């Protein structure tokens, strides 16, 4: 039993500790939350409380196939994190560094077209209409100084 245990498992471009349970281990992948993790395990019929180190290579390939294209696995369109991608027009679910890259490209596009959201991103201010009078202040907090006597 100890010979087929893996201390570190690579799934979806992320190295995950083998001691993690399956449900928590899958959430370590960027772009996979608890709901997605639960749904993948239920779809594959795997026990969420099993340790990730004991998972077989066949099961790892099945999880990666679902992460690659959840819509073809039967997941609904609203379940994915990038519906109707601007470049390809397809339903995508991005994970790992692809998610970071797409996010950076979206912000750069907003800056290039000089939209309000892009200018707020460029200035490092709140983007979604929050108040900024008292919150969201960056830098070191400076307290009130009193006179020395």
pLDDT in tens, 94-112: 888 888 898 899 999 999 9
Instruction: List the structure tokens of 73.
Output: 């696995």
Report the C-alpha gap between 123 and 6 in whole angstroms: 46
Q: pTM to 2 decimals?
A: 0.74
Q: Which residues pair with 16 in a beta bridge?
A: 9
Residue % of the chain over a pLDDT of 70:
97
> For domain 2-78, which architecture applies?
Orthogonal Bundle (1.10)
Q: How confident is the model at residue 3 (pLDDT cuts 50, 70, 90)?
A: low
CA 98 to chain centre: 10
Q: How confident is the model at residue 69 (pLDDT cuts 50, 70, 90)?
A: confident
What does the pLDDT read at residue 124?
87
Residues 92, 106 contacting (CB under 8 angstroms) = no
What does the pLDDT read at residue 68?
87
Domains of the chain, residue spans:
2-78
Q: How confident is the model at residue 147 (pLDDT cuts 50, 70, 90)?
A: confident
Give the count of beta carbons closer than 10 Å to the beta carbon of residue 14: 17
Tens of pLDDT, residues 15-66:
999 899 999 999 999 989 999 999 999 999 999 999 999 999 999 999 999 9
């Amino acid at each position: 039993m100890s010979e087929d245990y893996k201390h570190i498992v690579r799934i979806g471009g992320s190295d995950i500790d083998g001691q993690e349970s399956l449900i928590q281990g899958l959430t370590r992948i960027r772009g996979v939350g608890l709901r997605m993790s639960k749904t993948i395990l239920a779809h594959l019929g795997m026990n969420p409380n099993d340790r990730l180190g004991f998972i077989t290579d066949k099961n790892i390939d099945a999880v990666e196939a679902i992460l690659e294209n959840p819509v073809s696995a039967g997941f609904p369109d609203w379940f994915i994190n990038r519906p109707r991608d601007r470049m390809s027009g397809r339903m995508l679910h991005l994970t790992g560094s692809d998610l970071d890259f797409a996010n950076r490209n979206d912000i750069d596009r907003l800056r290039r077209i000089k939209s309000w959201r892009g200018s707020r991103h460029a200035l490092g201010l709140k983007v979604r209409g929050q108040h900024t009078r008292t919150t969201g202040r960056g830098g070191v907090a400076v307290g009130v100084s009193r006179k020395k006597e």
